[in-house]
Structure 1
Amino acid sequence: MAVGLLVLFAVIGYFAVQRYSNGGAGAPYCTATSTAAGGQKYEMTPEQAANAATIAAVGISKGLPDRAVTIALATAMQESALRNLDHGDRDSLGLFQQRPSMGWGTPEQITDPVYSAGIFYDHLVDVPGYSRLPLTVAAQKVQRSGYPQAYAKHETDATVLTAAFGEGGVLSCSGPAPLKGDPEKVKAELARAFGKEALAGAGTGAGAGTGTGGGSGAGTAAGGAEAGRTGPGGTAEPEVTLRLKRDGGPAEERRGRAMAHWAVARSHELGIARVSYRGDGWTGGQARGAWQRKGGGPGTSGDGDPHHALGDEVRIFIAR
C-alpha cells in the first residue's frame, strides 16, 4: 500500500512539473475558470478547448444567448467529450455525433465543427421556449438520444465554459510557445467561426519600433491588419487586429471577449503567440498560460506595451 502511494505521488508530481515547468511551457492544457463565487474550473486538452471555442463562437455569431451555448457545449461534452470524432454509434460522427442517414448533412459537413455547431443551433432554436426548458429536455429535443438524462451531468462544466467565452469567466492555455503561424489562416478561421463581419471592422496596423530589437514597417491585408510588431526575441510578429463597434454595448463586449479567448483556445493549432484585449494580455509559454494585466483601461494604450490593445480592439499576434 505504501509503495503504491509513493508511486502515485511520484506520477502526480511528474505531471505537475510537466505542466508548470518553464513558466507554463510544459505539457499543453487549458483551463476555463468562472469568476463567480467559488471560482469553479474545468480543465481540458487544447483540442477540446479549440472545439469548445468554435461551439461558443458560432452561437455568439448567431446572436444566441448564453443558455443556448451552454446547452450546445453540454451536448457535445456528452456526445464526444468535445472531440471531433470520425466514428460513433452506427453512422454517428463529429462533436455532436450527428448522423448523415438522419439528414444532418454529409460526413464531411458533420465533421466540420463550424457546420455541426451551426446546424445544432438551427435545430435548437426551433424548439419552443428552449431557453426555459431543463437542459436535458432541450438537448434531447434536438438529439433524440437513447440516454437523455446523461446531458445533465455536464451542465455545471458547460456553464463554466460558457462564462469563459462570454462574461463571468476566463480561459487560459499553457504549453510551449508556438513556433510559427499563418495570419491568413487565422483570419479565415475567425471568419468561419464568427462570420465575415468579424473582419469587417479590422483596421490597418503599422510596424512599431518600440519593441525589443527595434525595426519598423507596415503591413496591410484585406479584412485585417498584419503589423510588423516586434516580439520578445526581436522577430517581427504579424498581427491581426480586430476592430469592435464603438458603443456596441454588452453584445459587442461579449463578442470581443469571445474572439480573444477563441484565439487563446486555438493558439496551439494556429500558431498564435499572444493576444491582447481590454488591458489584459496572454502570451504563449509564459505565466503558466494565465492572462496578465497590462495596465491602463478601456480606451487607453496601457503602460507603453506595444502589444497592448485599445478598448475597442482585439489584437492577435502570430508566431513567426
Structure 2
Amino acid sequence: MRRSFSRAVLTIGIIVLTLAVAIAVGVYVLLSKADPLVDAEGCVVKTPKGELDLDIEQARIAATIAAVGERRRLPEQAIVIAYATAIQESKMYNVSYGDRDSLGVFQQRPSQGWGKKKQIMDPVYSANRFFAALVKVKNYQKLPVAEAAQAVQRSAAGYAYGPHENNARILSAAFTGRVPRAVHCTFPLKETPAAARAEEAQRDLTRALGAVSVPSIRRGWLIATWSVAHAQQYGLRRVAFDGITWSAEGWKNGGKAGSTRVELS
C-alpha cells in the first residue's frame, strides 16, 4: 500500500527541502572559497611520460615495491613488470581477499606455496616473493611485460597485464628515483600534529631497502620519494634531499645540493 502525504505535510516538506537546498548552496560557496588542499588526501605522480593520481595506500605500496627491487639490485624493467602485475591483480592495494585463496598486492595463494596468509599480507614479503619468481624466468627483461608477468602469475587472463605497461613505466620512473621530485602527497593536517616518527620510518625503510645509504642521487631520490609516500603514516612534515625540500605545499628549492643524506622531520 502506498503512503500518501496530506497537503500540510507536503507544504512542510517543500519548506524543509528549500532550506536544505539553501544550506547546501551556502556550504558549497564556503568550500569553493576555502583552500582545496585542507581536506585533500592522495598523491600525484608527474613524469615526462605522463601523470597519475594515486591513493596514499597505493603510493606506499608503489614505494615499497621500488625499494625491494632496489635492495635486490634489479633493473628497472623488473619494477615495471611488478607494477603492471600489481595494478592488474589488486589495483595496487593490499587486499585480504581474491579468487579462491588469493591475497595481497600480487594475489598470491598460500595453497600454491607463496607463503602463509600473514606473510603474503606484508607488501615487503610479497614483493620479495614476486621478484624471486620473476628472476627465474629466462630472459624476462627481453620479454613483453604481459608475458613476463604471466610467467610468474600463471593467470587465467594473462593478456590483461599488458594494458598497464604505460602506467607501470610512469610509476617506475618516479618511485625508483630516476625522475626527481615526481611524487607529491597531500593529506589533512591535525590541529596538533603528532611528533614526527623519523626513526620508525627509517627502520621500516631499512626493512624494505636494506642499508639506508645514499651512494647515488637516484637512490637518494628513491628514499626521498618513499618518505613522501609514507609521510602521513609517520607524521613527517618535511623531506629534504639534494637542495630540494618537500612539504604540504609541494617540492621547493632550498637546502644543500648534492647531499649524501635524506633529511626527515
Match of 1:190 among 200, 205, 229: 205
Q: CA deviation at 1:23?
A: 6.8
Q: Secondary structure at the match of 2:88?
A: helix
* 1:294 alignment partner in structure 2: 254
* 1:88 alignment partner in structure 2: 98
Unaligned residue ranges in structure 1 (runs of 5+): 1-9, 202-243, 246-251, 299-310
TM-score, normalised to structure 2, is 0.82
Report the AA paired with residue 53 of structure 2.
Answer: E
Whether 2:243 is the aligned partner of 1:279: answer yes
Paired with 2:102 and 2:38, the residues of 1 have a C-alpha distance of: 36
Report the AA paired with residue 87 of structure 2.
Answer: M
Residue deviations 1:160-199, cap 9 Å, x none? 111112213511111223622423321221111111x22x
Report the AA paired with residue 137 of structure 1.
Answer: E
Whether 2:263 is the aligned partner of 1:315: answer yes
* 1:146 alignment partner in structure 2: 156
* 2:9 alignment partner in structure 1: none
> Number of residue pairs matched?
232
Alignment of 1:153-302 (within 5 A): 153-165=163-175, 166-168=177-179, 170-177=182-189, 179-180=193-194, 181-195=196-210, 197-198=211-212, 201=213, 244-245=214-215, 252-284=216-248, 287=249, 290-294=250-254, 297-298=257-258
Paired with 2:107 and 2:36, the residues of 1 have a C-alpha distance of: 37
Q: Secondary structure at the match of 2:45?
A: strand
Contact 1:177 1:273 in 2 (8 A): no
Contact 1:75 1:139 in 2 (8 A): yes
Q: Secondary structure at the match of 2:240?
A: strand
Q: CA deviation at 1:254?
A: 2.1
Contact 2:242 2:255 in 1 (8 A): no
Residue deviations 1:230-284, cap 9 Å, x none? xxxxxxxxxxxxxx23xxxxxx322211110000001111211110010111113
Paired with 1:271 and 1:168, the residues of 2 have a C-alpha distance of: 25
Report the AA paired with residue 312 of structure 1.
Answer: T
Report the AA paired with residue 108 of structure 2.
Answer: Q
**Structure exhibiting the larger radius of gyration computed from Cα positions:** 2
TM-score, normalised to structure 1, is 0.68
For the aligned residue pairs, the C-alpha RMSD in angstroms reads 2.0
Residue deviations 1:120-139, cap 9 Å, x none? 00110111111111000000
Contact 2:198 2:264 in 1 (8 A): no
Q: CA deviation at 1:21?
A: 5.1
Report the AA paired with residue 188 of structure 2.
Answer: P
Report the AA paired with residue 291 of structure 1.
Answer: W
* 2:41 alignment partner in structure 1: 28
Match of 1:117 among 109, 127, 134: 127
Q: Secondary structure at the match of 1:136?
A: helix
